[in-house]
Amino acid sequence: MPQTYFSTTADRPNVLPPMTPSSVAETGMSLTQIAELAMKILYVRGELTAQNLVQEICLPYEPIIKAALEYLLKEQLAARAGSRGLGETGFVYVLSLKGAERARELMEVNQYAGPAPVTLADYHAVVEAQTITSFVIEDSKLRRALAHLVVGDELLEKLGPAVNSARSIFLHGPPGDGKTVIAEALSTTAVGEVYIPHAISVEGYIVRVFDPIVHEPVLVAEEGKPPPLATVGSVDQRWVLCSRPTISVGGELTMDMLEMIYDQAAKTYEAPLQMKANGGTFIIDDFGRQRVHPRDLLNRWIVPLEKRVDYLPLLRGKKVEFPFDVLIVFSTNIAPTELVDEAFLRRIRHKIRVGDPTPQQFHEIFVQVCRARNVPFEEAGYNYLLRTHYQNNNRPLRAVHPRDLVDQIVDIAGYLRVAPALKPDLIDRACRSYFVDLSIA
């Protein structure tokens, strides 16, 4: 049973919600297809009331589910087995022997038994209506999104236009300077919410889109309380209202993860990552460290980045056009010229270098980290750290060092049963266990 629902359009006035179909024709399905979906649900769940079927299929009883049930009764594929409530929606339905046999045949075609799928045309329309390009981030909003980070004005002035492009961003620079956390922070600038379909019907196949691991519903039914029944004039419950999604992948990314994933057992498709990210942000971290060559990966994005559509093949070999409404962020520690040539980099709109923090920024980061870890900040200890372990070793400042070194100090202090502090002994111990001398084999 779907775990999310939407009550009225007033719940989220900033979103134009898809509305419940008022006829069988508006669902994009035939009456027979709706009845067959009801049969599969009855086959999986056993006997159910008409109200239960409304909750499972997410279509209204009048006039759609009622017509489907009447069809099943007429064809002797189902029968009434009593009543569990008042009115017609309380009637209990169970498959007949003929209906059970037909349901088994249907399950061999595909085992999908959930909310009625929406059409691909409706999916295109809803994605376009809630597009990530529909809002513009201002300087003040960007600064709020990055307020937990120490970011200079020069970098902010580059990030703002890049986010507003809602296209592609290439963050590059030395390791440990916050590219990943910046990318994640940028994803939070995509304000608002989006409607995600449970499933889409495409060329006779079912494509599952809503993923509870990826998508965060905004309105959730109370535990033990069923969602309200779908009715004509209400928000279409075949769609789930979610926060704009953020999907982040790293070295584990393969080309297969960017294509339709066919489930041989269920005989349904799972939407690829970039499709689940529609309306939000797709972060490819550690770009260049995937098993696939960077050029092949960028080749995969040429058409989506330029035309904002993606062509995905199905089993029969036919490619189907899906919307590509994603801010895609590449993050890498590798020099761009070592990954791809200039022609490929032109495909990516904004190339932004995230460099080492300035001494002032490094000091500010260290103060913030000490405050967050409840470690007293001592200027003398901080100066000792810089002089002994940075200046004397010609070591570059990295934005991640304050967090890691303070955490090392906390760990060591806990073991020694002393209060964590910026003292030379604890600093030396922390640096010895954190920094690696690359000249030693």
Mean pLDDT by groups of 10 residues along the chain of 441 residues: 38 68 96 97 95 96 96 96 89 96 96 97 95 86 91 92 89 93 90 93 95 89 68 92 94 92 94 96 91 85 88 88 94 86 78 94 96 96 97 94 97 96 96 76 47
Asked if 294 contacts 249 with a C-beta cutoff of 8 angstroms, the reply is: no
In total, the chain counts a number of residues equal to: 441
Closest by CA position to 285, among listed 247, 312, 315, 237: 247
In the chain, where the domains are located: 30-115, 128-353, 359-434
Rg (CA), the chain: 27
Amino acid at 59: L
Take residue 191 and report the two structure tokens written for it.
Answer: 């304000």
pLDDT in the model for residue 436: 78
pLDDT in the model for residue 222: 59
pLDDT in the model for residue 3: 36
pLDDT in the model for residue 9: 40
Take residue 404 and report the two structure tokens written for it.
Answer: 């890691």
Amino acid at 168: S
Asked if 370 contacts 376 with a C-beta cutoff of 8 angstroms, the reply is: yes
Spatial neighbors of 85 by CB under 8 A, at least 6 apart, are 49, 51
The CATH code of domain 30-115 reads 1.10.10.10
Give dist(CA 124, CA 120) in Å, integer: 6
Give dist(CA 307, CA 327) in Å, integer: 13
Phi-psi label, residue 224: left if phi above 0, alpha if psi -120 to 50, beta otherwise: left
pLDDT in the model for residue 6: 38
**Topology of 128-353 in CATH?**
Rossmann fold (3.40.50)
Angle between helices 179-187 and 153-165 (to 10 degrees): 50
Which residue reads 């508006």 in tokens?
Answer: 26
pTM: 0.87
